[in-house]
Amino acid sequence: MFLVNHVRKLPVFSLLIVLVSFLSPFDTITEARDPIPVVVTIPVLKDLAEQVGGPHIQVTSLLSGYENEHTYSPKPTDLVAVRKARLLLEIGMGLEVWVSSLVKNAGDQSLRVITTSQGVDLIRDDADAHEGTHHDGETGNPHIWLDPENVAIMLRHITEALIEVDPSHRAEYQTNQADYLQRLGQLQKELSLRTQRLSDRRFIAHHPAWPYLAKRFGLDIVGTIHKQSGAEPSAFHLQSLIKKIRKENIRVVVSEIQLSQRLPDLLARETKAHVVVLTTMPGGLPGTETYLDMLRHNVLQLAGALERTS
């Protein structure tokens, strides 16, 4: 009763100050607890964003890890997520050909689209495996995240974008980035030591997803089943691969969980080669929930298969 009577006697300006003093702390706490909504195209970007942003962001990945990123068709829920987001992270280079129309349909002019492939040293596909999917003058294989050194570049773009939309947590984002880069570098060193011991580094690839990983770890892709994304290989091409495998005694075919296993299994039956199933996306296989887990799994599984069959 004393407080009410006292407030009634205050001038209007003083009354406002009293009200603001009661309300402001609660408003500030609520705002600080609201994570920044971020949408990413593929799971690897979700993991990298969360490594940097921590509890300050809420990330939605449009793909779960089992879909083919080239042929993905956005759902109505994707449109809702993009409309709510402040940032959208993509690989770019036409990997996600469906992104531009999704962003356009969302109609949010304030949405910031971050292309994480900018500044990456691109590898050109031998047979233009992704021909017709590129934009903005950038041509090359878009599976850049399978090289950990490219991930360091991608992480820088993500960190800078988060700092722009949330400068109050700059120091924390930069610390998280540095910590992750240290772990990434350590894993790369361990995996490089593992592949250096291989006497036979050759394998047949399911589709052109692996040049960056092969180059980084000194492996040799000697043939590809699906030379062009989304196109079935000809019978002549398959027969040529079978002859090559037999003649050169190639013992490993790398398959991908996101694609049909029919053709890798066919080559294995015809040549007695060993099929090792890898994933291009975190979460595609058990034990690959993070990028570091996926990288470790892919390299160790491939190295083990090459070692057993050499």
Q: What is the average per-residue pLDDT within 196-205?
A: 97
Q: Per the domain annotation, does 20 fall within a domain?
A: no
Q: Per the domain annotation, does 147 fall within a domain?
A: yes
Residues 46 and 181 in one domain: yes
Q: Per the domain annotation, does 22 fall within a domain?
A: no
Does the pLDDT value for residue 295 go beyond 90?
yes
Tokens of 25: 């702390």
What are the CA-CA distances from residue 305 to residues 135, 138, 243, 275 (Å)?
37, 34, 21, 8
**Nearby residues of 81 by Cβ (< 8 Å), 6 or more positions away:** 37, 39, 60, 62
Does the pLDDT value for residue 117 go beyond 60?
yes
Element counts in the chain: helices (H) and strands (E): 11, 8
Residues 135 and 213 in one domain: no
Amino acid at 74: P
Other C-beta atoms within 10 Å of 71: how many? 10
Q: Per the domain annotation, does 267 fall within a domain?
A: yes
DSSP 213-245: HHHHTT-EEEEES-SSTT-PPPHHHHHHHHHHH
SS3 83: helix
Q: What is the pLDDT of residue 109?
A: 78
Lowest mean pLDDT among 17-21, 73-77, 172-176: 17-21
Residues 173 and 215 in one domain: no
Q: What is the pLDDT of residue 310?
A: 62
Q: What is the pLDDT of residue 134?
A: 37
Whole-number percent of the chain with pLDDT over 70: 84
**Nearby residues of 264 by Cβ (< 8 Å), 6 or more positions away:** 206, 225, 253, 254, 255, 275
Closest CA to 282 of 35, 65, 18: 65
Residues 239 and 271 in one domain: yes
Q: What is the pLDDT of residue 132?
A: 37
Closest CA to 213 of 130, 302, 286, 94: 302
Does the pLDDT value for residue 24 go beyond 50?
no
Other C-beta atoms within 10 Å of 279: how many? 23
DSSP-assigned letter for residue 25: H
Residues 216 and 289 in one domain: yes
pTM: 0.84
DSSP 158-183: HHHHHHHH-GGGHHHHHHHHHHHHHH
Residues 88 and 139 in one domain: yes
Choose the final residue of a domain: 142, 172, 189. Answer: 189
Mean pLDDT of the chain: 87
Residues 48 and 185 in one domain: yes
Q: Per the domain annotation, does 271 fall within a domain?
A: yes
Residue 37's beta-bridge partner residues?
A: 58
Q: What is the pLDDT of residue 18?
A: 39
Other C-beta atoms within 10 Å of 46: how many? 26
Choose the final residue of a domain: 189, 218, 241. Answer: 189
Q: What is the pLDDT of residue 148?
A: 98
Residues 214 and 178 in one domain: no
Residues 205 and 172 in one domain: no
Is 183:292 a contact under the CB 8 Å cutoff?
yes
Q: Per the domain annotation, does 28 fall within a domain?
A: no
Is 273:251 a contact under the CB 8 Å cutoff?
yes
Instruction: Quote the number of domains for the chain.
Output: 2
DSSP-assigned letter for residue 283: T
Q: What is the pLDDT of residue 17?
A: 37
Highest mean pLDDT among 2-11, 99-108, 232-241: 232-241
CATH number at residue 65: 3.40.50.1980
Residue 32 pLDDT grade (very low, low, confident, very high; cuts 50, 70, 90) = low
Residues 215 and 298 in one domain: yes
Residues 77 and 218 in one domain: no
DSSP-assigned letter for residue 62: S
Does the pLDDT value for residue 252 go beyond 90?
yes
Separation between Cα atoms, residue 45 and residue 61, nearest integer Å: 8
124 or 204: which carries more pLDDT confidence?
A: 204
Residues 246 and 268 in one domain: yes
Token look-up 């770019």 returns 92
Q: What is the average per-residue pLDDT within 88-113?
A: 91
Domain holding 147, by residue range, is: 34-189
Q: What is the pLDDT of residue 228?
A: 79
Q: Per the domain annotation, does 5 fall within a domain?
A: no
Residue 59's beta-bridge partner residues?
A: 38
Closest CA to 253 of 293, 230, 226, 234: 226
Q: What is the pLDDT of residue 308?
A: 87
Q: What is the pLDDT of residue 23?
A: 42
Choose the final residue of a domain: 167, 189, 211. Answer: 189
Q: What is the pLDDT of residue 278?
A: 97
Q: Per the domain annotation, does 16 fall within a domain?
A: no
Amino acid at 234: S
